[in-house]
Chain A
Amino acid sequence: MRIENVVCPFCGCLCDDIAVEIENGKIKSVAKACGIGRSLFMKHDEDLSFPSIGGRRVSLEDAIEKAVDILGRSKHALIYGLSSTSIEAHRKALELAELIGASIDQTSSICHGPTALAVHQTGIPTCTLGEIKNRADVLVFWGSNPLESHQRHYERYSLFPKGMFTPEGRKGRKLVVVDVRQTPSAKMADMFIKVNPGEDYEVLNALRYMLKGGELAASEIGGVRVEDLRKLLDVMLSAKYGVVFIGMGLTMTRGKYHNVEAAISLVVELNAHTRWSVVAMRGHYNVKGAASSLLWQTGYPFGINFSLGYPRYSPGEYTAVDLLRRKEVDCVLVIASDPVANFPRDAVKVMLELPLIAIDPKLSLTAVSADVVIPTAQVGIYVEGTAYRMDGVPLRVKKLLDSSYPSDEEVLGEILKRIKGA
């Protein structure tokens, strides 16, 4: 059986034109997906997790009961992850966090958290991906390598598509890539600007200064010759509709949110001359959704604490890595994420010394190390639900196959029910 227009639950592109062939309860083939998406669909039934306590296989019921016990007795739990599960599951996670006075954080805190911090200061002019297809004639990828992180981005959304006012597609666009090294994405650029690591802030502010008519005294800023900065600015000013794409090259390096503030400010200032937008290259397929559900229920995008019965926001304080570093939580519930693989070692060390519950369809390193594992059915393969693309467009991911495992939403709902009833 062939299912068309399947939504891929991997990265922030949330491609929704995937075609999947199903035979005998398995995915037999995948069309249109990128290599990473294909891997996700084809290996949908590999490396699945199973219910366990202390590494020993137990019944699903026992695993849930143990999780209920740990969370119900906690004084300050950390609930973390969310970006690879549905909005429907997020609602339950939030209700649970509020009920037990936990801190709740999602993967943005080690990804585009600094972008959120910048937006608090500057706001952000942005657009949906279709505007890029239809209008954008200048693209600037800053600290972003889409050919490796968002493999169909160039092809389906930004560089190649022919749109309403961009009938020439690639030929009608100028691609600029700014990075510390020549990535595969940079190799395709019309202009590659190599910046010194940790000096994007200086370069961005130099551009802002030049945009306001300032003359730079130096001949080089951040490893970039001033003539090249001038060329870049001219290209940006020549755009009818330009877009700056922000990646981890800005959020993870020295300056962090200041880098993003500078980038957004440049784009805001360009709007006095011509139209420009900023798009944050969100990593996971529903990290935008995780920020969204947290925002509409609490007012804040990540790093939230409920110990006082109302949401308090404090990046650097209630963000997961910091809570672990300072050993301020007494247990950790990880949903749809793998912090054991992705957090710095000393945060992982603390996590491994605490009661750790993993709710995950697969044997992530977190699941492999957890005290309690509750296996769930992967959203987008076995469970339908809502996910928000990097530009905020919400799509309903499909259920392609049946699973004997419950969904994240059901498990969290069950945990909630039992803690409330206790």
Chain B
Amino acid sequence: MKEFCLITGRTARQGIALHAGKTTESYEKDVAVIFLNEEDMQELGIEDGMSVLLRTDFGKVVVRAAKGNLPKGMAFMPYGPWANLLTSSNTHGVGMPDLKGLKLYISPTEEEIWDWKRVLEEVKKGEN
């Protein structure tokens, strides 16, 4: 399975959407998304708008795939609860967890994009 480097970060759309409310559809639309290099998407058999299953050592989540201006092998997700299903609280004694540069595996999936309720359920369950 191909390994990606995951970067999480701020997007303008995420910033705009969060004022509408984090339980709204527009927030989900702009935050439950992963941006990928076009060639990588082709190789994975993923189309723009499709659901993808994302997995790191710390968890998994289902979000929407979108074309982005990324180098091959790199993926970008906006900050938020979806991205954080993939991150760990290990701060290596610094206080700051690793929120960029994570090892990520991506595969297409039939599953629906998880909504915020599902995300919180998974958080409460623990390791998935």
Contacts and interface: CB of A to CB of B under 8 A. Distances in A.
B58 A346 contact: yes
Given A197-B74, A341-B22, A365 B100 contact: no
A29 interface: no
The DSSP consensus for interface residues of chain B is: loop
A353 B66 CA distance: 34
Contacts of A110: 95-97, 99
Contact of B24 (A47, A322, A344, A349): A47
Contacts of B98: 252-254
Interface residues of A, number: 67
Contacts of A340: 81, 120
Interface residues of B, number: 49
B81 A344 contact: no
A114 interface: yes
Which has the most chain B C-beta neighbours within 10 Å: A39, A117, A317?
A39
Given A110-B97, A149-B10, A248-B100, A343 B84 contact: yes
Interface in B8-33: 9-12, 15-17, 19-24
Contacts of B17: 39
B100 A349 contact: no
Given A253-B100, A348-B123, A341 B95 contact: no
Question: Considering residues B11, B59, B94, which has the most beta carbons from chain A within 10 angstroms of its beta carbon?
Answer: B94
B81 A43 contact: no
Contacts of B74: 180-181, 197
10 closest residue pairs by CB, A with B = A319-B95, A47-B21, A316-B93, A36-B15, A344-B87, A325-B89, A347-B89, A315-B95, A39-B19, A149-B10
Interface of A: 10-11, 34-36, 38-40, 42-43, 46-47, 109-111, 113-114, 117, 145, 147-149, 151, 180-183, 194, 197-198, 248-249, 251-254, 256-257, 283, 302-303, 315-317, 319, 321-322, 324-325, 338, 340-349, 352, 362-365, 368-369
